[in-house]
Structure 1
Amino acid sequence: MAKYFGTNGIRGIFDEDFTLEFIHEMTLSVGTYFEKGPILIGYDGRESSPLICKIITSSLNSIGIDCNVAGLVPTPCLEYAVKSLGYSGGIMITASHNPPQYNGIKPAGNDGVEISREDELLIEDIYSKKNWLPRPEKWGITNEETKTIETYLSGILTHIDSNLIESKPFKVVLDLGNGAQAVTAPSFCKKLNCEVILVNETVDGQFPGRGSEPTPQNLSVLSKTVIENKADFGIAFDGDGDRSIFCDELGNILTGDRSALILIKHILNKNPNSLVVTCLNSGTNTETLTEKYNSKVLRTKVGSVEVSRRMLSTNALIGFEENGGFMFGKHNQVRDGCMSLGLMLDFLSTTNNSLSQEISQLPPSFTTKDKIECSEENANKIIFSLKDEFPNSDTSDGIKITLDEKNWVMIRPSGTEPIIRIYAESTDQENLEALMTKFLKKVKSIISR
């Protein structure tokens, strides 16, 4: 089991468990793993990010590795540039949706995708043994990379019908969440002749607008802005811009599952007989929909690394997580909020229906999730207790308790925060609420023992 890498990279509270010394030594380990440069470095808008960038570049230079700094960019922008511009690897400085006091690092391979779980363990082994590259004959150098954003946006545009989108000028509300998509998404929309209304557009590492994670509970301003401006739809990004939550023209906030189904339908309509990869905690309607296009679904553990790497190994066209992380294999096998925005514009340009009308045509879906603050010790106690009570459950990632095909609950410790997450799906809203209430009560009871 990895000690430092969680579900998505390494994260911690800056200057507490994520110290400058730790960052220096972990960067030496990542650099030793890469063996050679150049390495592309990017960061999100957190206040500690520029300082961490200096530590990372100087650490890489100290073992003879050259690096270029992309500056403030979304995570998928950095990852795409690593692949497209021929870098040996990349390091993104981000804690994604975690609170402002956190920061982290996420290495990407030369294929532009987060490194595998096996490679995470290799880096941790280098770190524990301090088996770093020897002092070089020549120090590495650090330069600036100025083509990152333009390369990224041009790449997205190759996968959508720009002329058709431009001919139907859309009105779009972007809730940038004070995050990194502020430097890319508005420019992308303007390239497509969209009228853009911005919410929380100023990059601010404290995320004062609505926090760094878009959830149905904190997107009321997005919803209201869409309605007031009679926009075609709205979209909200997380702190590092790899996830996106959509809002239809009526102000309804869509779950990641629902918006994923719309995009899957659009893509498979053009590309039947394809593979879709998703996690254990997304809804069963994925299978229902993909069957209509003679396509198959592969399920993985929770985590974008799991989905991305399975997409690569199977040459899957689509990947997604229920949290709004959507992956389009023809572009890059990573979560990408701006690529998702492009796909939605591409889809709506092909139909006379509104987004809400298209959503109403999907098979009904009733899913929900919640979280409870929980120590690692209590999280283990919860899983072990539920295993005893439900011995036939799937325990490959936390525990997934399947009551029947359309009724299940999944409980797993977060890999990025001291919480336990609870996911559920049921046949209707009333049953869903009853199911969730039952298991929330059960989990809290186990913690209090």
Structure 2
Amino acid sequence: MAKFFGTNGIRGVFSEDFTLEFVHDMTLAIGTYFGKGPILIGFDGRDSSPVISKVVSSTLNSIGIDCNVAGIVPTPCLEFAVKTLGYSGGIMITASHNPPQYNGIKPAAKDGVEISREDELIIENIYMEKKWLISKNWGITGKEDRAIQTYLKGIISQIDSKLVESRNLKVVLDLGNGAQAVSAPEFCKMMNCEIFLVNSNIDGSFPGRGSEPTPQNLSELSNTVIENNADVGIAFDGDGDRSIFCDNNGNILTGDKSALLLTHHILQKNPNSLVVTCLNSGSNIETVAEKFHSKVIRTKVGSVEVSRKMVPTNALIGFEENGGFMYGKHNQVRDGCMTLALMLELLASSKKSLSDEIALLPSSFTTKDKISCSPDKVSKLISTLKEEFPSSDITDGIKITIDSKNWVMVRPSGTEPIVRIYAEAESQEKLDTLMSEYLKKVSCIISR
């Protein structure tokens, strides 16, 4: 088991368990793992990110590794630039959707995809044994000014951009005071869209609605869509790799629902393809894939699990239920702006509104919630549920399946001291009942 790497990179509260001393030593381990440069460094808009970037770059230089700093960029922008511009690897400084006091490090391999779970353990072993790379020469730090334009050109090359431009779509962007502020508005301008901005200034304290887009905090996005008769709205998380959509009627879509819609759109043009998703995604993806003679592979929860399964299988699509969508032709990583591009292409090629397109999907009722839970109580929680439901899947946390359309999954977060509860049911009434029952059950077990 990894000690420092969680579901998605290393994260902690800055100056508490994520100190500059820790960043220095962990960077030595990451640099030793990469072995050579140049390494591309990027960061999100958190207040602590610039100083962490300086520690990372100077530490790499101290073991003879050259690096370039791209500045504030979305995580998928850094990853695409690593792959496209010929870097040996990348280090993204971000805590994604975590609260402002957090920060973190996310390494990307030279193929532009997050490093594997096995490589995370290699880095941790180097860190624990302190077997750093030693060099007589100092590396140098430069600037990388090509990352954003390289990223946007890459996205545009994957869609029918002329068709999108011809439609003059109205788009509301809730940038969440996060890193997509440097790229998503520019992309929409390039696509001849009329844009309306919400929470558009980069601010590490995320004053607008917090760093994670949820149905509960996207009322301003919804209202702005309705007020401006927009075709679509989208909200990004702190580092811009996830996206939650709002339809033309102001309804916020779950990540599962938007993924179903985009998968349908992509598989129409690319039948006989492969889709990768996690155990906690809704069951309708199999129905959609089967329609286009395509297959679905399920993984443990986490973008690393999905991304690293997509690479060797050459999967076309990957997604998580949280709004993380991956388009293999571009890069096998979550990418908020690439996802927006695909949605705009869908709308441009359709004679229907987004809400009408959604109405054509097989009905699904999914939800999730979370409960505070200290790490020392997790094993007791899972084992207690396993005793009650012995036939359950314990590949990742525990998934209790009632039947193909009704299930509950409980698993510890890899980024925060909480457990997440996911559920799917055949109706909204059944879903509400199921979720209420398991929230009480989990709370009861934790409090014993």
1:219-259 alpha-carbon deviations (Å, 9 max, x no partner): 00000000000000100000000000000000000000000
| Structure-2 separation of matches of 1:286 and 1:301 | 16
Q: Determine the structure 2 residue equivalent to 1:201.
A: 200
* TM-aligned CA deviation for residue 102 of structure 1: 0.1
> What does residue range 119-130 of structure 1 map to in structure 2 within 5 Å?
119-130=119-130
Matched position secondary structure for 2:275: strand
| Structure-2 separation of matches of 1:448 and 1:148 | 48
Q: Determine the structure 2 residue equivalent to 1:247.
A: 246
| Structure-2 separation of matches of 1:352 and 1:35 | 52
Q: Determine the structure 1 residue equivalent to 2:94.
A: 94
* TM-aligned CA deviation for residue 377 of structure 1: 1.5
| Structure-1 separation of matches of 2:50 and 2:84 | 24
- 1:137 pairs with 2:136: yes
Aligned length: 448
* TM-aligned CA deviation for residue 25 of structure 1: 0.2
* TM-aligned CA deviation for residue 378 of structure 1: 1.6
Matched position secondary structure for 1:202: coil
- 1:288 pairs with 2:297: no
Q: Determine the structure 1 residue equivalent to 2:389.
A: 390
Matched position secondary structure for 1:240: coil
| Structure-2 separation of matches of 1:121 and 1:277 | 23
Q: Determine the structure 2 residue equivalent to 1:359.
A: 358
| Structure-2 separation of matches of 1:444 and 1:199 | 36
> What does residue range 364-443 of structure 1 map to in structure 2 within 5 Å?
364-443=363-442
1:256-304 alpha-carbon deviations (Å, 9 max, x no partner): 0000011001100000000000000000000011100000000000000
Q: Determine the structure 1 residue equivalent to 2:347.
A: 348
The one-letter code of the counterpart of 2:146 is: K
1:382-410 alpha-carbon deviations (Å, 9 max, x no partner): 10100110011000100000011100000
* TM-aligned CA deviation for residue 380 of structure 1: 1.6
| Structure-2 separation of matches of 1:111 and 1:255 | 30
| Structure-2 separation of matches of 1:381 and 1:443 | 11
The one-letter code of the counterpart of 1:357 is: D
1:298-330 alpha-carbon deviations (Å, 9 max, x no partner): 000000000000000111000000000000000
- Residue identity over aligned pairs, in percent, reads 74
> What does residue range 9-408 of structure 1 map to in structure 2 within 5 Å?
9-134=9-134, 136-408=135-407
* TM-aligned CA deviation for residue 431 of structure 1: 0.4
| Structure-2 separation of matches of 1:129 and 1:444 | 39
* TM-aligned CA deviation for residue 379 of structure 1: 1.8
The one-letter code of the counterpart of 1:283 is: G
Matched position secondary structure for 1:305: helix
| Structure-2 separation of matches of 1:168 and 1:321 | 29
Matched position secondary structure for 2:371: strand
Q: TM-score, normalised by structure 2?
A: 1.00
* TM-aligned CA deviation for residue 448 of structure 1: 1.6
Matched position secondary structure for 2:349: coil
The one-letter code of the counterpart of 1:412 is: R
1:145-173 alpha-carbon deviations (Å, 9 max, x no partner): 00000000000000111111111100000
1:83-122 alpha-carbon deviations (Å, 9 max, x no partner): 0000000000000000000000000000000000000000
| Structure-2 separation of matches of 1:426 and 1:306 | 25
| Structure-2 separation of matches of 1:344 and 1:116 | 29
| Structure-2 separation of matches of 1:156 and 1:181 | 14
| Structure-1 separation of matches of 2:264 and 2:393 | 28
* TM-aligned CA deviation for residue 344 of structure 1: 0.3
| Structure-1 separation of matches of 2:414 and 2:111 | 24
Q: Determine the structure 2 residue equivalent to 1:8.
A: 8
* TM-aligned CA deviation for residue 138 of structure 1: 1.3
The one-letter code of the counterpart of 2:58 is: S
| Structure-1 separation of matches of 2:404 and 2:24 | 48
Matched position secondary structure for 2:361: coil
1:164-187 alpha-carbon deviations (Å, 9 max, x no partner): 111110000000000000000000
Q: Which runs of 5+ in 1 are unaligned?
A: none
Q: TM-score, normalised by structure 1?
A: 1.00
The one-letter code of the counterpart of 2:433 is: A
| Structure-1 separation of matches of 2:169 and 2:313 | 36
| Structure-2 separation of matches of 1:352 and 1:448 | 53
| Structure-2 separation of matches of 1:279 and 1:368 | 15
| Structure-1 separation of matches of 2:373 and 2:211 | 21
| Structure-2 separation of matches of 1:175 and 1:243 | 12
| Structure-1 separation of matches of 2:280 and 2:316 | 20
| Structure-2 separation of matches of 1:58 and 1:377 | 36
| Structure-2 separation of matches of 1:377 and 1:384 | 13
* TM-aligned CA deviation for residue 137 of structure 1: 2.1
| Structure-2 separation of matches of 1:230 and 1:380 | 49
The one-letter code of the counterpart of 1:74 is: P
| Structure-2 separation of matches of 1:151 and 1:448 | 51
Matched position secondary structure for 2:430: helix
| Structure-2 separation of matches of 1:381 and 1:220 | 38
Matched position secondary structure for 1:342: helix
Matched position secondary structure for 1:112: coil
| Structure-2 separation of matches of 1:218 and 1:305 | 27
1:181-200 alpha-carbon deviations (Å, 9 max, x no partner): 00000000000000000000
| Structure-1 separation of matches of 2:444 and 2:226 | 42
| Structure-2 separation of matches of 1:73 and 1:380 | 37
* TM-aligned CA deviation for residue 11 of structure 1: 0.1
The one-letter code of the counterpart of 2:419 is: I
